[in-house]
Structure 1
Amino acid sequence: MMDELLTPAEMSEADRLAIAGGPSNGYGLMCRAGAAIAAAILARYPASRHFHVLCGPGNNGGDGLVVARLLADAGCPVTAYQDDSPRPGTDAAMALAALELRTRPLEVFYAGGDDLVVDAMFGAGLTRPLQGNFARAVERANASGAAVLAVDLPSGLSGDSGQVLGGIAIRADMTVTFFRRKPGHLLLPGRSLCGETVVADIGIADEALTTIGPKLWQNNPRLWQMHLPRPTENGHKYSRGHVASFSGGPSATGAARLAAMAAARAGAGAVTVVSPGSAMSVNAAHLTAIMLRRADRVDELADFVNSRKVAGAVIGPGFGVGEHCRNFVSALNRLRGEEVLGLVLDADALTSFEEEPEALFALLAKGTSSVQPAVLTPHEGEFGRLFPDLAGAMRSKVERAREAASRCTSVVILKGPDTVVASPDDRAVINAHASPYLATAGSGDVLAGLVAGFLAQGMPSFEAACAAVWIHGDCSLRFGPGLTADDLPGLIPTTLRQLVGT
């Protein structure tokens, strides 16, 4: 399993542990890295007219110098470029000494459209913008039309955040990294700048992960598949979980029904749309397998939850913003502790607290030692209203989601094309399994309902959120162009069948 994601600092520690444990020293690891890159180049780009290797002064440049030597040994026409020689005594200095070619300055680099450019200037550890000849080399490489292979991470990208540092970065067709991916390989815009990412084995033992203890993963069924609910032969509809989806008024009922259908497709044995009296007839006209219950007041809500064994609730999709919503959220959160109720807050339930987010956080913090955390599903706009000091920051999206999860003692699904799921205990995943067609009105309502459906069946909050995000994305990949939110619930069973069998 290679789902773990390592920050640049954690990867440096993995290198250190590998060197300390032997038998390879630092230069030995560098030679293995260079060999893996050269093998990828010769397998993928053997017909390139010329091979240009752009080298920085550190270990990334040392990897490039090894690549240049191996390509030359293979009879390839190759030029290595380097402005500053590595510090004496370093692994990169040893790589330069072993290179029989004479390096040329970066300022003379020029590539044609039939060439291959190897970007070995800076890897995942870069913390400042590219300048001078490095920046100009990136501009020429991007404009050349040549294929580009990046070593570890395209130069100019942050390995932590996937952000471009200073406005310019290599656009790679392929990236070869080592041992494990970094967050910058999956977070945007880094993901789109890496091209195909290949993880090469250079001899670092998996035991290093035990020492490092990473808490960030690429979202993958291996992380949560064992928690997916499976019905028992002697079960009944309420033992499979009852979900309540809370509807808005007559002109805003569709979102709650989308969430309700997603919860049902996720396997919940019973699902009820809880509706204001004014919208009962509208909802009744559209519901068949989904039940309907009226609740205009908090006491009616509580009576329903208590009497009908409700195990999961989703509120926010189309519900309406304001005091009424805040009162319902408060009541549901109280019942979360009393009735072991899985709670999902989406859309209007989040926006209703934008003027007083600390009031929401205080609510959610009550009783969290004995019940599952609630799940919040904000997109960037809603996130910015709840966590204004974290919005738009150059910090990693993972760091922002983790800080938010800690602050609200809840699991946070920070949605987007690079959705991050973060838990209050610091665990997090980055999801790359989704289609751009998922960016359509109502898809978030389906996601919220999926989470609620899994919570009602007893899945832990973090695993339920991760599973819902991946399955939601898988449905979008199955459908493709023309996808609307109405299409998503019907696709859920096909994905679930492949995950849990029949």
Structure 2
Amino acid sequence: MSAIDAAAAATGIDSFGLMERAGAAAAAATLRLHPGALRFVVLCGPGNNGGDAYVAARHLLESGATVALFHLGDPAKLKGDAARARAGCALQGQELGLYRPGAGDVVIDGLFGAGLGRAVPAGVAALTKRVAEAGIAVLAIDLPSGVDGRTGKVLGAAFRARNTITFMTRKPGHLLMPGRELCGELEVFDIGIPARIIRAEAGGAIAENTPDAWKAVLPAEQLETHKYRRGHLVVFSGEADKTGAARMSAASGLKAGAGLVTIAAPDAAMAANAAHLTAVMLHAIDDAAELEDWLSDTRLQTFVLGPGFGIDARARAYVTALADRRLVLDADGISSFKDDPQQLFDLFRGEPRLVLTPHEGEFSRLFPDIGGDDALGKVDKALAAARRANAAIVYKGADTVIASPDGRALINTNAPAWLATAGSGDVLAGIIGGLLAQGLPAFEAAAAGVWLHGEAARRAGKGLTAEDLAVAVLPL
């Protein structure tokens, strides 16, 4: 956003005009959201976020509201647009530490915004605690102070906002946890920066995961088609007492649009699988040699390995045999390479055809140095892992990040809280496999699969089981 602001100014756009519109939008939102407030308490920081807050305070005062203003640092040291905004506000502020929450207060947080790069001062940390304990509603300008706009991490302490007002476009900290939760309800206001400048400066490398990010690569629907044109997905089953996970993956791949789905199972697990399958086919595979023979059928190009499979050398041998095919590696498949991740990465060079779907623990096992680097945010970690593995990475969680080796990353936001249930990851692996089988590139298949997964959870509703989730999957 700093680059966008500078580029806008370079084209002749009045930077103070942008600040004026931002502050006016914050004031208008405050009045709309809190018509019953007895007092608006405006907290002004030492930079342009504070400038927005001074403008908001002026508009609130002119509207007839009761307004109190508190500032961080010496306001006489403000420069540029922020100094001009302060000069235009008739209120005489007090030092921030003097504020004591009162009944009927609403706090407008204009201390730091999205540009904070270090832990908040002790006085601010103490204030966030007092405000939270008093149950005072907070409206944040741009981002709750204390939240890192790049990573969503809390830098020491942060306000928990009921509403956040930001401008032109969301920042990663609005979507990544815990920032997303601390923002409350988020609104984005257009303050007059041309979209062409935002596109040119932001680059589009990091975005929200929506259909716009991948719909261009979806296969065209054709009347004259057959099952093999829609792809053949193979899902590997575990032993006889661990077959359910593979069946959920297989069912989900079929629902996601694969033309055929086969479960490849040990001979001892064939009966357990056969008792529960109809549209999904079965094929017996007991070892890597049998798999190699089966792979002579060149129509077999897309595989899911991991759900319920077991963590062992057999998993590594199967993955080695599949090195020239498209593969979704999940759960036990990922953990099977924890002692030598590079062995896995070396198998899948060239055009990306591997999708890895780790949760936090699996990510740390496969990428211990990246996972343990506290200086990196979730997007940074996912991108570093994608480059190292030459794979599409689905870094799972409430804020799942999908990353590509070429530097693209998408943050997913459509997953409801009730998606966190046993077997949910098996369903996701199957959906991604079904999309890979239809010819989507690895990154786009992963991103579309994560989005479909979230939509299925919304359709299934609260209290869903993994079986409910698989049934609720719809093709793109």
Using the size of structure 2 for normalisation, the TM-score is 0.97
2:387 matched to 1:382? no
Distance 1:14 1:221, change over 3 A: same
Moved more, 343-352 or 110-119: 110-119
Residues in 2 aligned to 1:380 and 1:178: alpha-carbon distance in whole angstroms: 32
- 1:234 equivalent in structure 2: 224
Find 1:426's aligned residue among 380, 384, 407. 407
Deviations 1:212-251 (A, max 9, x none): 2130011111212233335421111111100000011111
* 8 Å CA contact retained: 1:112, 1:145: no
Q: Which of structure 1's runs of 4+ aligned residues deviate more than 4 A? A: none
Query: 1:182 offset after TM fit, Å?
Result: 0.7
Q: Cα offset for 1:308?
A: 6.5
Moved more, 417-426 or 90-99: 90-99
Contact conserved, 1:107 with 1:133, CA < 8 A, in 2? Answer: yes
CA spacing shift, 1:300–1:144, aligned 2, 3 Å: same
For 1:245, which of 226, 235, 238 is the aligned residue?
235
Can you give the 5+ residue segments of structure 2 that lack an aligned partner in the other structure?
A: none
Indicate if the aligned counterparts of 1:29 and 1:202 stay in contact, CA closer than 8 A: yes
Moved more, 28-37 or 303-312: 303-312
Aligned pairs for 1:49-448 (under 5 A) are 49-83=38-72, 84-85=74-75, 87=77, 89-166=79-156, 168-212=157-201, 213-307=203-297, 309-334=299-324, 336=325, 342-365=326-349, 368=350, 371-394=351-374, 395-448=376-429
Structure 1 residue 88: Cα displacement: 5.0
Give 2:368's aligned amino acid. P
Once the two structures are TM-superposed, the CA of residue 392 in structure 1 deviates from its matched residue by 4.1
Alpha carbon RMSD of aligned pairs, Å?
Answer: 1.4
Change (3 A) 1:90 1:252: same
Structure 2 CA distance for aligned equivalents of residues 316 and 281 of structure 1 = 20
Query: Cα gap change, 1:86/1:357 in structure 2, threshold over 3 Å: closer, same or farther?
Result: farther
Worse-matched range after superposition: 478-487 or 229-238? 229-238
1:305 Cα deviation (Å)? 3.2
Seen in structure 2, the aligned counterparts of structure 1 residues 86 and 200 have a Cα distance that, compared at 3 Å, is: farther
**2:63 & 2:450 partners in 1: Cα distance?**
46
Q: After alignment, is 35-44 or 448-457 more displaced?
A: 35-44
- Call closer, same or farther: CA 1:384–1:205 in 2, change over 3 Å: same
Cα offset, 1:142, TM superposition: 1.7
* Number of residues of Structure 1 aligned to a counterpart in Structure 2: 473
1:28 aligned residue (6, 17, 20)? 17
Q: Find the aligned partners of 1:207 and 1:474 in 2 and give their Cα distance.
A: 31
Q: Over residues 86-142 of structure 1, what are the superposed CA-to-partner deviations in whole Å (9 max), with x where a residue is unaligned?
A: 535421111111111111111221222422100101111111111233222222222
Aligned in 2, Cα 1:67/1:303: closer, same or farther, shift over 3 Å?
same
Confirm or deny: 8 A CA contact 2:239 2:309 kept in the other structure: yes
CA distance in 2, matches of 1:420, 1:299: 36
Deviation sequence 1:168-198 (CA, Å, 0-9, x none): 1101000011111111111111111000111
Instruction: Report how far residue 480 of structure 1 moved.
Output: 2.2
User: What is residue 446 of structure 2 aligned with on the other side?
Assistant: 465
Whether contact under 8 Å (1:253, 1:318) holds in the other structure is yes
Counterpart AA for 1:124: A
Give the distance between the partners of 1:285 and 1:67, measured in 2 at CA: 66
Return the offset for 1:277.
1.0
**Greater mean deviation of Cα atoms: 80-89 or 373-382:** 80-89
Separation in 2, partners of 1:89, 1:391: 40
Tell me what 2:457 maps to.
476
> Could you tell me how far apart the structure 2 residues matched to 1:134 and 1:415 are?
32
Q: Please report how far the alpha carbon of residue 404 of structure 1 lies from its aligned counterpart in structure 2 after TM superposition.
A: 0.2
Superposed CA deviations along residues 275-297 of structure 1, whole A, max 9, x for unmatched, are 11111111111111100001112
AA partner of residue 357 (structure 1): P
Conservation of the 8 A alpha-carbon contact between 2:316 and 2:337: yes
Give the TM-score of the pair, scaled to structure 1: 0.92
Question: Does the CA contact (< 8 Å) of 2:345 and 2:388 recur in 1?
Answer: yes
Instruction: Check whether the contact 1:58–1:86 (CA below 8 A) recurs between aligned residues.
Output: no
Which digits, 9 at most, give the CA deviation of each residue in 1:299-355, with x for residues without a partner?
Answer: 322332332612311011111111111000010113x2xxxxx21111111111100
Structure 1 counterpart of 2:127, which letter? Answer: A
Distance 1:302 1:231 in 2: 33
Distance 1:116 1:381 in 2: 40
Contact 1:117 1:147 (8 Å CA) reproduced:
yes
Distance 1:320-1:89 versus aligned 2 partners, 3 A rule: closer
Partner Cα separation in structure 2 for residue 484 and residue 30 of structure 1: 48
Q: Is residue 401–residue 412 contact of structure 1 (8 Å, CA) maintained in 2?
A: yes
- State the SS of the aligned residue for 1:124: helix
Task: Measure the CA separation in 2 of the matches of 1:417 and 1:100.
Answer: 44
Do 2:232 and 2:260's aligned partners in 1 also have CA atoms closer than 8 Å? yes
User: Aligned to 1:412, what secondary structure does the other structure show?
Assistant: strand
Do 2:328 and 2:357's aligned partners in 1 also have CA atoms closer than 8 Å? yes
In the alignment, residue 370 of structure 2 is paired with which amino acid?
L
The question of whether the paired residues in 2 share the 8 Å contact of 1:231 and 1:240 is answered with no
| Identity score, percent | 49
Which deviations, in whole Å up to 9, do the C-alpha atoms of 1:417-475 show, x marking residues without a partner? 11000000010011111111111111101100100100110111111111110110111
Rounded to whole Å, the distance in 1 between the matches of 2:137 and 2:340 is 51
Structure 2 CA distance, aligned partners of 1:132 and 1:404? Answer: 35
**CA distance, structure 2, for counterparts of residue 463 and residue 157 of structure 1:** 30
